[in-house]
Amino acid sequence: MNKKKLLEQFLDYLKYQRNYSDYTILNYEKDLHEYFNYIEKEALELNNIEYNDIRFYLRYLKEDKKEKNSTICRHLSALKTFYNYLLTKEVINNNPFIYINGPKREKRLPRYFEYNELEELFKIPDLKTALGQRNRLILEMLYATGVRVGELVNIKVKNINKEERTIIILGKGNKERIVHYGEYAEEILNKYLEEGYQELNRNNLDYLFLNKQHNKLTERGVRVILDSIIKQTNLSKHISPHMLRHTFATHLLNEGCDILSVQKLLGHESISATGIYTHVTTQHLKNVYYDKFPRAKMK
């Protein structure tokens, strides 16, 4: 059984059929290399793994590799998905990972930006340049729509309805959804399409976000851009595309949006995935309580 060939085919399947992000695919690839090294060291066969083998592997990740529970869960997710793929390709007869539960994840509250911090970020890109217009639009779109970075870089100009201020997004599992954007994002979008986009799109591509080589912007490119922007501010926070997604969801909830609507806007299949954002609104609820409840404060 050629593990290298199977891995290449599996990664292509994730990218082109399941529409996984480049970031997730890279992590899955690293996790599977770790697993392959382990079973080779332990003289185990890929298609002959048993329950106890998996338990020993998870213990190896925890005790020998000192991995966090969240990382071990990601390893397990990668392996479940990989073995399901092998099952559909009839390389194996059953998936031994299907009944394995990972360790309890550490509870980590989503990090997000306050309104004033966002304003500081938005002021950094130079709107007199094509790249500055593009970078400002990246910030506005990530915050205005809550899209994932993989969804952002795959936006095509033809998928934008300027009259309705909506965009058709291709999400996880190749599922489409419609996201909305407001007047601030509309203003910079129009400026970019009329000016910067014309300068960057020398190769006549369909994609909205392009790099200085006039090719499609990558997920890694977006992360580099965001890192560069925050270094030019006085903010001490780390920045990532997902942090702006967290900010989008948190601000909606803080302004009274119901969680089911936030779930739909984020493209979450399960309401439990959206539930993490209710924790970060605790301070907001406390402020509402003391402001609105008649016997919260003595007059």
Between CA 221 and CA 166, with CA 229 as vertex, the angle to 5 degrees is: 65
Q: How many angstroms separate the CA atoms of 273 and 261, rounded? A: 13
282 token code pair: 């605790």
148 catalytically annotated: yes
Amino acid letter, residue 47: N
Which residue is catalytic, options 18, 156, 172, 177? Answer: 172
Asked if 169 and 176 count as a contact pair (C-beta separation under 8 A), the reply is yes
* Helix/strand/coil for 207: strand
User: Catalytic residue among 74, 245, 246, 251, which?
Assistant: 245
In angstroms, the CA 218 to CA 224 distance is 10
CA atoms of 158 and 64, how far apart (whole Å): 50
Instruction: Using CB atoms within 10 Å of the CB of residue 4, give its burial: 0 to 12 exposed, 13 to 18 middle, 19+ buried.
Output: exposed
Q: Is 277 a catalytic residue?
A: yes
For 176, residues 6+ apart whose C-beta sits below 8 A from its C-beta are: 168, 169, 170
* 195 torsion bin: left (phi>0), alpha (psi -120 to 50), beta (else): alpha
Which position has the token pair 């003595």?
A: 298
Report whether 152 contacts 118 (CB < 8 A): no
Catalytic residue among 136, 148, 246, 251: 148
Question: Which residue of the set 165, 177, 223, 268 is catalytic?
Answer: 268
27 CB-near residues (< 8 Å, 6+ apart): 74, 78
Q: Which of 18, 111, 165, 242 is catalytic?
A: 242
Taking the CB of residue 246, how many other CB atoms lie within 10 A of it? Answer: 21
Element (H, E) at 160: strand 160-161
Residue numbers annotated as active site: 148, 172, 242, 245, 268, 277
